[in-house]
Amino acid sequence: MPVEKSPVRVAVVGTGGIVTGSHLSALKALNGRVRLVGAVEVDERRLAAFLDRAGDGVSGYPGMTEMLAAEQPDLVLIGTPPALHAEQTRTALRAGAWVLCEKPLCLSLAEYDEIASAEGDGDAGGPYASAVFQHRYGSGAAHARQLLRAGELGRPLVAHCQTTWHRDADYYSVPWRGRWETEGGGPTMGHGIHQMDLLLHLLGEWSEIRAMAGRLVHDVESEDVSTALVRFEGGAVATVVNSVLSADEVSRIRIDCADATVELTHLYGYGNDDWAYTPAPNVREQQERTSHWRAPAADVPSSHAAQLSGFLDAMEKGVRPPGSGPDARRTLEFLAALYKSAFTGRPVHAGEITPEDPYYRAMHGNHPDWAPKEL
């Protein structure tokens, strides 16, 4: 059923940096549409600090069961370590709450399908679960997608997707980082997932991937760099690079089409000015055509607030929100295929990873060189 309450009652699970910063800011930006009523946190001091920042009317709880029973929220925002996401998402869905969960929503395709089975059916209008992929929701991405889908830039031909960041040994001192069973992977799963999701959002269905991955610097279980070549169903080919070894940090997507190149360059978030359109020589003088390629007048930065606003719209209508269901599964399947190709040394095709495939249940696929180490 559509959630017609106003404001929507919201609870958060986990009160670490991403919730205290991005999610709390989004909730405050949408004050009036939402009301934060509860927070779950096992660390008492961190919970107390969060409640102090959240303001009056928010109750704290040590566990989800107590919170769900007491508050009966319409929406649960999850910002805990990745290994907890799948079970916490299913728990909230079964209690009748919609869920917006930090990436990755889960650690495998198997877990994703278990989450899907806990969602409401289409006739009931939810509840549904979405992963946080805020880069889809800025006005720049919406504009670029519209131009690409309408063929305004010509046929997409060549693309590049880059997430080259830097993380030091202190970053990996957090016990759950760099381990398959608790993080699900390295920069492919935990960092580059945002840009790869945006690439798929812009270009549509992929058909084939060939990849490599390595542990070049960090003493961790998972990779610290990966690269891939991708073919899309429309014929475009793309390169993908994910790294936490790069001193010059940047996030970038570039798509060369028959009539123009569109490029996004940023780090952790973008505005309209971070998008650039370059006409091909044969269309540079066609001002009537190229003038509207520039970003729209309204500048909506990519942010948790932008995604939450769209999520609330879906809740009010009782429809599946963007970035959930088959759409979000496609991104996770893409990551699983990248890992499978990297670890097996052969190309992987869309739809290949079925429940009988070891990469359906774990991103490392129990490959002997990449399976979890004894700690």
| Domains in the chain, CATH or no CATH each | 8-134+305-320 (3.40.50.720), 136-299+331-361 (3.30.360.10)
Q: Would you state the pLDDT for residue 260?
A: 97
Average pLDDT, the chain: 95
> Facing residues of 36 across strands?
10
pLDDT, one tens digit per residue, over 305-343 is 999 999 999 999 999 998 899 999 999 999 999 999 999
The closest of 245, 83, 233 to 164, measured between CA atoms, is 245
Decide if pLDDT at 295 tops 80.
Answer: no
Q: Is the dihedral of CA 350, 119, 98, 110 positive or negative?
A: negative
pLDDT of residue 5: 77
Quick check: 2 pLDDT over 80?
A: no
Q: With cut-offs at 50, 70 and 90, classify the pLDDT of residue 1.
A: low
Give pLDDT tens digits for 111-165: 999 999 999 977 778 999 999 999 999 999 999 999 999 999 999 999 999 999 9
Q: What is the DSSP-derived secondary structure letter of residue 196? A: H
Task: Please give the span between the terminal C-alpha atoms of the chain, in angstroms, as a whole number.
Answer: 47
Whole-number Å distance between alpha carbons of 149 and 151: 5
- What is the rounded CA–CA span in Å between residue 345 and residue 314? 41
Average pLDDT, integer, range 81-85: 97
Q: Beta 225-232 vs 237-243: how paired, if at all? A: antiparallel
Give phi and psi for 212, each to the nearest 5.
Answer: -135, 155
Task: Specify whether the CB–CB gap between 311 and 321 falls below 8 A.
Answer: yes
Put residue 55 in one of left, alpha, beta given phi > 0 → left and psi -120 to 50 → alpha: left
Q: Going by C-beta distance under 8 Å and a sequence separation of 6 or more, which residues neighbour residue 125?
A: 1, 2, 317, 318, 319
